[in-house]
């Protein structure tokens, strides 16, 4: 399963195939995230589980269950065994919309209260202890891992989606009507320093990502359009329309070199495009229906696609069968007394 990041080209991308399958989830996987520096992946799913994987060996390391709050959006902090997880249940009663969890000893290190409705976007600053959450209550909140209180709040129209650039200097907020607002993360209270409009598409933006070189921005809309924008001027570099996916919001991802985009589609296929050539490079059957989560690993020639099944995709060096790893020996499944 060891697939260190090499220079990607069309042939390598085209050769991607399923290398491991994990199918013991009791429901849809809501979100997943790779650690920036360690070979780790975390998932949050409808069965209230948070699961930690070693992506170099394709092993499930740990499972914890969170019956009281549920597990919705998830992202790593800088520490390899700590995550931020958003709640699905009891938001009105407790207001505990976000939890800072230690996977190492299965403790909740801190609760973050403030959001009144479900969180639909969550991201950690790449450079410090700040993180952001966007909620269906039409607010984006800015937090610091070290303190309970919200550090800043933006009131917006529609469903907000947030992302930091790779240097942590800028963050983007997408909102109703295809507007993207860019903020200086050190002085966001002064308002956005730039606003882009994705012309011709007024659907809500459900996902936004910066390429690792900071030059491009990837938007996915609720009507299954994908746009790659110039991150400096906002010009549309290319756009793709995908098959509709009722009740599933698809996710797209940049490769670490920023040269390719991979996306799910409503027909159950995965597509890869070359950004520079503006052409499709590959189309694969996902084998898991419509993937609700899709991310490329930061440091490996590998991506993860998930529905109610999690799959690891790697360059296909042989015609070997994919490794099916439903339950690894020694996996801890803990039920925290939250």
When pLDDT is averaged across residues 185-190 and rounded to a whole number, the result is 93
**Contact indicator for 322, 331 with CB cutoff of 8 Å:** no
Residue 335 has pLDDT above 50, yes or no: no
**Contact indicator for 257, 299 with CB cutoff of 8 Å:** no
Q: Phi-psi region for residue 89, left (φ > 0), alpha (ψ -120 to 50) or beta?
A: beta
Distance CA 140, CA 27 (A): 28
Contacts of residues 268-277 at CB distance under 8 Å and 24 or more positions apart, as own/partner, are: 269/243, 270/294, 270/305, 271/240, 271/242, 272/13, 272/14, 272/16, 273/238, 273/240, 274/10, 275/216, 275/228, 275/237, 275/238
Residue keyed to tokens 């598409």: 201
Q: What global pTM score does this model have?
A: 0.91
**Contact indicator for 90, 83 with CB cutoff of 8 Å:** no
User: Using one digit for the tens of pLDDT, what is the confidence trace for 315-331?
Assistant: 987 544 444 444 333 33
Q: Burial, 259: exposed, middle or buried (Cβ in 10 Å; 0-12, 13-18, 19+)?
A: buried
Distance CA 313, CA 299 (A): 14
- Determine the pLDDT at residue 200: 65
With bands split at pLDDT 50, 70 and 90, how would you rate the model's confidence at 217?
A: very high
Q: Residue 25 CA to chain centroid, in angstroms?
A: 18
With bands split at pLDDT 50, 70 and 90, how would you rate the model's confidence at 177?
A: confident
**Contact indicator for 214, 231 with CB cutoff of 8 Å:** yes
Tokens of 138: 């039409």
* Percent of the chain residues topping a pLDDT of 70: 91
Q: How many helices (H) and strands (E) does the chain have?
A: 2, 30
Phi, psi of 11 (to 5 degrees): -65, -40
Distance CA 266, CA 245 (A): 4
Domains and CATH numbers, the chain: 10-315 (2.130.10.10)
User: Using one digit for the tens of pLDDT, what is the confidence trace for 248-301?
Assistant: 888 999 999 999 999 999 999 999 999 999 999 999 999 999 999 999 999 999
Q: Kindly state the helix (H) or strand (E) to which residue 93 belongs, with its residue range.
A: helix 91-94
- Residues with Cβ within 8 Å of 300's Cβ and at least 6 positions away in sequence, in order, are 3, 4, 5, 39, 55, 56
């Amino acid at each position: 399963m060891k697939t260190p990041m090499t220079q990607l080209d069309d042939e390598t991308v085209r050769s991607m195939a399923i290398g491991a399958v994990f199918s013991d989830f009791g429901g849809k996987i809501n979100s997943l995230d790779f650690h920036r520096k360690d070979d780790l992946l975390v998932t949050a799913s409808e069965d209230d589980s948070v699961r930690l994987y070693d992506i170099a060996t394709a092993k499930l390391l740990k499972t914890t269950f969170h019956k009281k709050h549920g597990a919705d959006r998830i992202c790593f902090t800088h520490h390899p065994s700590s995550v931020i997880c958003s709640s699905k249940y009891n938001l009105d009663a407790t207001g505990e919309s976000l939890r800072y969890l230690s996977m190492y000893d299965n403790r909740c290190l801190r609760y973050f209260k403030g959001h009144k409705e479900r969180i639909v976007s969550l991201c950690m600053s790449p450079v410090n202890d700040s993180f952001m959450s966007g909620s269906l209550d039409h607010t984006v909140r800015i937090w610091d891992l070290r303190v309970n209180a919200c550090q800043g709040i933006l009131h917006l129209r529609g469903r907000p989606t947030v992302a930091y650039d790779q240097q942590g200097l800028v963050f983007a907020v997408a909102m109703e009507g295809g507007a993207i607002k860019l903020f200086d993360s050190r002085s966001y209270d002064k308002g956005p320093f730039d606003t882009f409009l994705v012309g011709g598409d007024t659907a809500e933006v459900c996902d936004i990502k910066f390429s690792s070189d900071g030059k491009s921005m990837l938007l996915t809309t609720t009507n299954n359009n994908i746009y790659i924008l110039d991150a400096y001027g906002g010009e549309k570099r290319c756009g793709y329309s995908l098959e509709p996916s009722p009740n599933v919001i698809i996710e797209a991802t940049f490769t670490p070199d920023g040269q390719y985009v991979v996306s799910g589609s409503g027909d159950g296929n995965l597509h890869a495009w070359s950004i520079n050539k503006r052409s499709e490079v590959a189309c694969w059957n996902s084998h898991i229906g419509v993937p609700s989560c899709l991310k490329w690993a930061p440091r490996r020639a590998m991506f993860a696609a998930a529905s109610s099944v999690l799959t690891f995709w790697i360059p296909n060096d042989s015609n070997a069968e994919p490794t099916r790893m439903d339950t690894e020996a020694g996996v801890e499944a803990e039920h925290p007394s939250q």
